[in-house]
Structure 1
Amino acid sequence: MHKLKAVFLIIFLFFNVQCVHAFDENGHRVIAQIALSYLSSDAKKRLSVIFGEDYQQLFLEAPDYIAIKEQNLDSKWMKNLHYVFFNAEDESFDPQTHCPHNQCSVAAVLESKVVLQKAKYSTTQKRQALRYLVYFIGDIHMPMNNGFLVDRSGNKIQLQKNDLSYVSLNWAWNKGLMIEKDQKWFALSGQYRKSIDREQIQLWSEQVEPAQWAIESHLLAKDFGYRLAQNKRYDSVFIKEAMPVFDLQLKKAAIRLATMLNQLYSAID
């Protein structure tokens, strides 16, 4: 019996650990697809010159690229790039505290931006950097990727579903809510695109610092993520309250991704 329990525990941990790192892959594709429609003509020209006409594909393949990289046993350090871990008393972002050894989503975005901006890097390196930028901007905007260190951003908090199975709080936000959409990613991106107004674009475009995005998401994690986990249930009540925040963060990530690229390439001669 003890051996049987051990086997079930191993299986449980395996399937929960595999799915907790980031937005559902389709969530990242939604962000990428929306961002493409907000790129300036200058940015599109520059991207086309550097990467060829398939630069749009680099956006959409970012989730698969990251997944393949992480399957490499030598790339375990990459798992830290999905997160910024905060302590309860933290009110600002400190690189040494929240991004040790440059292993956090903020560093992943900033370093990718440098590679894209500097002429000394090869096209191969720039292609990788573009995929990283697209992907990890999405991660910064997921509230529960910016939770508390003590519970590994909700990975150690278990919620019970209606079928009596358990998922982590991080999984609920990163995977579960997108599953609840039950839509193709390209259809969902079109719906989001139509719902974004000019005031939102202007507001979201004004904040271009990844560290501030992380703080913003951390506050959402405290105000919504952890609060909704208090009853230890992943149910219709949780989904109904979390979904508007989830929707907003995907759209916000897309606009900020486009804004960063528009500013980056407009500044290059």
Structure 2
Amino acid sequence: MARLIASLLVVFLLLPTPAYAWGPMGHRLIARLAEGDLSPQARAQIAKLLAGEADPSLAGIANWADELRAEDPDLGKRSARWHYVNIGEHQCQYDAARDCRGGNCVIEAVREQVAILGDRSKSKAERLQALKFVVHFVGDAHQPLHAGYARDKGGNDFQISIDGEGSNLHRLWDSGLLGTAGLNEDAYFRRLQAMPVDIDTTSPASPQAPAQWARQSCALVLQPGFYPRRAKLESAYVQQYRPVAEQRLRLGGAHLAQLLNSVLGSS
């Protein structure tokens, strides 16, 4: 089993993909989980906004915010800092003036884009763009290393080795951990959908909700053992933390559904 895990890690961690939160499959899984829990009213509103999209589903737009870097470099550059917040150095306590200058972090980005999405006076194009950002950024907020340390760029500078091949901790959490399960997207969706989910009491539409999600992500980063003690990754790490990554995906889907239902639930 250990040898199989190591082999799968090598395959997934050496793929020539940039270090985005969760990777494409992870973001699509969060979106699919959310879509299954939408209220009829929210589903109808989203269908109107997505009409004309190549894939008119939440999963179909889940990775748009990462693809911007190639498709719309200007917007991609302006929104680059909206994907994360660095609060690891501050024991996961968030201070907007210190940690999110100019509103450039995932916490304030979620708040701003939710406000646009819920504003019926905005154009369809503006609200559609906001929906695309919201779907992606809620996922980002649930990836632990998108709320981690500034000093190592959310684990991007923390080097690890699997069977002699180099990678980094951020990439491991993006897709490497999920990849070791050996499941395709549909199978993984069914697996996550069957998991119990413990929803916190903070209203998803509350201004405090995105900060709470980020603090919960950050708290995982600060746990002893989250950063491997040795550069060479052991199979025990995967066995311990893949369930944690799966729980974050499941919770991200639940929170996204709650948020969209709250913002778009009225006719």
TM-score bracket for the superposition, by shorter chain length: 0.7 to 0.9
Give CA-to-partner distance per residue, 1:146-192, whole Å, 9 cap, x none: 11111111111101111x11111111111211222222212211221
Counterpart residue type for residue 185 of structure 1? E
Q: Any conservation in 2 of the 1:160–1:167 contact (CA below 8 Å)?
A: yes
Q: For the residues of structure 2 that align with 1:177 and 1:56, how far apart are their CA atoms?
A: 27
Q: Any conservation in 2 of the 1:204–1:256 contact (CA below 8 Å)?
A: no
Q: Secondary structure at the match of 2:160?
A: strand
Counterpart residue type for residue 192 of structure 1? L
Matched pairs, number: 248
**What is residue 29 of structure 1 aligned with on the other side?**
28
**What is residue 3 of structure 1 aligned with on the other side?**
none
Q: Any conservation in 2 of the 1:93–1:212 contact (CA below 8 Å)?
A: no
More helix per residue: 1
Following superposition of structure 1 onto structure 2, how do residues 81-92 of structure 1 map, counting pairs within 5 Å?
A: 81-92=82-93
Alpha-carbon RMSD: 2.4
Q: Any conservation in 2 of the 1:177–1:246 contact (CA below 8 Å)?
A: yes
Give CA-to-partner distance per residue, 1:94-135, whole Å, 9 cap, x none: 112221222211122111111111122111111111111111
Q: Secondary structure at the match of 1:166?
A: strand
**What is residue 107 of structure 1 aligned with on the other side?**
108
Q: For the residues of structure 1 that align with 2:57 and 2:103, how far apart are their CA atoms?
A: 24
**Structure 1 length normalisation: TM-score?**
0.83
Q: Aligned pair 1:62/2:68, yes or no? A: no
Q: Give the drift of 1:55.
A: 10
Q: For the residues of structure 1 that align with 2:36 and 2:62, how far apart are their CA atoms?
A: 19
Counterpart residue type for residue 37 of structure 1? G
Q: Secondary structure at the match of 1:159?
A: strand
Q: Any conservation in 1 of the 2:88–2:147 contact (CA below 8 Å)?
A: no
> Structure 1: 5+ residue runs without aligned partners?
1-14
**What is residue 259 of structure 1 aligned with on the other side?**
258
Give CA-to-partner distance per residue, 1:43-85, whole Å, 9 cap, x none: 1123234444979734112244223311143222433222111
**What is residue 179 of structure 1 aligned with on the other side?**
179
Q: For the residues of structure 2 that align with 1:80 and 1:234, how far apart are their CA atoms?
A: 29
Structure-2 change in CA distance of 1:184 and 1:57 (3 Å): farther
**What is residue 212 of structure 1 aligned with on the other side?**
212
Q: Give the drift of 1:241.
A: 1.2
Give CA-to-partner distance per residue, 1:2-30, whole Å, 9 cap, x none: xxxxxxxxxxxxx8995213111000111
Q: For the residues of structure 2 that align with 1:45 and 1:248, how far apart are their CA atoms?
A: 28
Q: Secondary structure at the match of 1:160?
A: strand
Structure-2 change in CA distance of 1:176 and 1:70 (3 Å): same
**Structure 2 length normalisation: TM-score?**
0.84
> Structure 2: 5+ residue runs without aligned partners?
1-13
Q: Any conservation in 2 of the 1:48–1:54 contact (CA below 8 Å)?
A: no
Q: Secondary structure at the match of 1:195?
A: coil
Q: Aligned pair 1:76/2:81, yes or no? A: no
Q: What percentage of residue pairs aligned between the two structures are identical?
A: 23
Structure-2 change in CA distance of 1:182 and 1:78 (3 Å): farther
Q: Any conservation in 2 of the 1:92–1:215 contact (CA below 8 Å)?
A: yes
